[in-house]
Amino acid sequence: MPGFELFGTEERKEVNDVLETGILMRYGFDGPRKGIWKAQELEKAITEVFGCKYAHLTSSGTAALTTAMAALNIGAGDEVIMPSFTFVASFEAVLSVGAVPVLVNVDETLTLSPAAVKAAITPKTKCVMPVHMCGSMADLDALKTICTEHNLILLEDACQSIGGTYKGKALGTIGHAGTFSFDFVKTITCGEGGVVMTNSEDVWTKCDGYTDHGHDHKGVDRGADLHPFIGYNFRISELHAAVGLAQIRKLDTFLSLQRKNNKALRAYLETIPEVSFRKVPDEAGDSCSFLSWFLPSEELTKAVIAEMKEQGILAGNFYWYANNWHYISKWDHLKNATTLNRLSDVQQQALLKLKDTSFAASDAVMSRCISTAISLLWTEEQIKEKGEKMVAAIKKVLTSATVHA
Ligand SMILES: *Cc1c(COP(=O)(O)O)cnc(C)c1O
> How far, in Å, CA of 250 to CA of 10, rounded?
9
Please state, rounded to an integer, the average pLDDT across all residues of the chain. Answer: 97
Q: What is residue 80's predicted lDDT score, i.e. its pLDDT?
A: 98
Answer whether 83's CB lies under 8 Å from 120's CB: no
Q: pLDDT grade, residue 100 (50/70/90)?
A: very high
**Closest ligand 1 atom to Cα of 185:** 1
Q: What is residue 323's predicted lDDT score, i.e. its pLDDT?
A: 84
Q: pLDDT grade, residue 325 (50/70/90)?
A: confident
Q: Which of 233, 64, 248, 244 is nearest to 157 (CA)?
A: 64
The yes-or-no verdict on residue 401 having pLDDT over 90 is no
User: How far apart, in Å, are the Cα atoms of 306 and each of 299, 309, 386, 396?
Assistant: 11, 5, 16, 12
The yes-or-no verdict on residue 304 having pLDDT over 80 is yes
217: phi then psi, degrees, rounded to nearest 5: 55, 35
Answer whether 64's CB lies under 8 Å from 180's CB: yes
Kindly give the distance from the C-alpha atom of residue 395 to the centroid of ligand 1, in angstroms, as a whole number: 35
Q: What is residue 224's predicted lDDT score, i.e. its pLDDT?
A: 87
Q: What is residue 220's predicted lDDT score, i.e. its pLDDT?
A: 81
User: How far apart, in Å, are the Cα atoms of 201 and each of 86, 93, 207?
Assistant: 29, 22, 10
Q: How many CA atoms lie within 13 A of 96 on its CB side?
A: 17
Q: Exposed, middle or buried by CB within 10 Å (0-12, 13-18, 19+), for 68?
A: buried
Q: pLDDT grade, residue 374 (50/70/90)?
A: very high
Percent of the chain exceeding pLDDT 70 equals 100
Mutate to test the pocket of ligand 1, among 87, 162, 185 (most ligand atoms within 8 A of CB): 87
> How far, in Å, CA of 316 to CA of 314, rounded?
6
> How far, in Å, CA of 50 to CA of 249, rounded?
12
**Higher-pLDDT residue of 323, 240:** 240
Kindly give the distance from the C-alpha atom of residue 221 to the centroid of ligand 1, in angstroms, as a whole number: 34
Amino acid found at 51: G
Kindly give the distance from the C-alpha atom of residue 300 to the centroid of ligand 1, in angstroms, as a whole number: 30
Q: What is residue 221's predicted lDDT score, i.e. its pLDDT?
A: 85
Q: DSSP code of 342?
A: P
**Closest ligand 1 atom to Cα of 131:** 13
Give the torsion through C-alpha atoms of 140, 141, 143, 144, to 10 deg: 110
Q: Tens digits of per-residue pLDDT, 139-153? A: 999 999 999 999 999
Kindly give the distance from the C-alpha atom of residue 283 to the centroid of ligand 1, in angstroms, as a whole number: 23
Domains annotated on the chain, with CATH: 3-251 (3.40.640.10), 253-403 (3.90.1150.10)
Q: What is residue 398's predicted lDDT score, i.e. its pLDDT?
A: 97
Answer whether 76's CB lies under 8 Å from 82's CB: no
> How far, in Å, CA of 397 to CA of 326, rounded?
26
127: phi then psi, degrees, rounded to nearest 5: -150, 145
Q: How many CA atoms lie within 13 A of 216 on its CB side?
A: 8
> How far, in Å, CA of 75 to CA of 69, rounded?
8
The yes-or-no verdict on residue 382 having pLDDT over 70 is yes
**Closest ligand 1 atom to Cα of 65:** 10
CA 361 to chain centre: 22
Q: pLDDT grade, residue 402 (50/70/90)?
A: confident
Q: Tens digits of per-residue pLDDT, 153-195? A: 999 999 999 999 999 999 999 999 999 999 999 999 999 999 9
The yes-or-no verdict on residue 84 having pLDDT over 90 is yes
> How far, in Å, CA of 358 to CA of 102, rounded?
13
Q: pLDDT grade, residue 2 (50/70/90)?
A: confident
Give the residue-averaged pLDDT of 212-227.
Answer: 90
Q: Tens digits of per-residue pLDDT, 17-73? A: 999 999 999 999 999 999 999 999 999 999 999 999 999 999 999 999 999 999 999
> How far, in Å, CA of 269 to CA of 266, rounded?
5
Give the residue-averaged pLDDT of 221-227.
Answer: 88
Kindly give the distance from the C-alpha atom of residue 63 to the centroid of ligand 1, in angstroms, as a whole number: 9
Q: Kindly provide the residue ranges of all beta strands, DSSP E only, lying in 137-236, ordered along the sequence.
A: 153-157, 165-166, 169-170, 177-181, 194-198
> How far, in Å, CA of 363 to CA of 72, rounded?
32
Kindly give the distance from the C-alpha atom of residue 359 to the centroid of ligand 1, in angstroms, as a whole number: 23
- DSSP H/E element including 373: strand 369-373
The yes-or-no verdict on residue 405 having pLDDT over 80 is no
> How far, in Å, CA of 26 to CA of 37, rounded?
7
Q: pLDDT grade, residue 404 (50/70/90)?
A: confident
Residue minimizing CA distance to atom 2 of ligand 1: 159
Kindly give the distance from the C-alpha atom of residue 89 to the centroid of ligand 1, in angstroms, as a whole number: 6
- Residues whose beta carbon lies within 6 Å of some atom of ligand 1: 60-62, 86-87, 89-90, 131, 157, 159-160, 181, 183, 194
Classify the phi-psi angles of 191: left when phi > 0, otherwise alpha if psi is within -120 to 50, otherwise beta. Answer: left
Q: Which of 171, 188, 191, 197 is nearest to 67 (CA)?
A: 197
Q: What is residue 1's predicted lDDT score, i.e. its pLDDT?
A: 59
Residue minimizing CA distance to atom 10 of ligand 1: 89
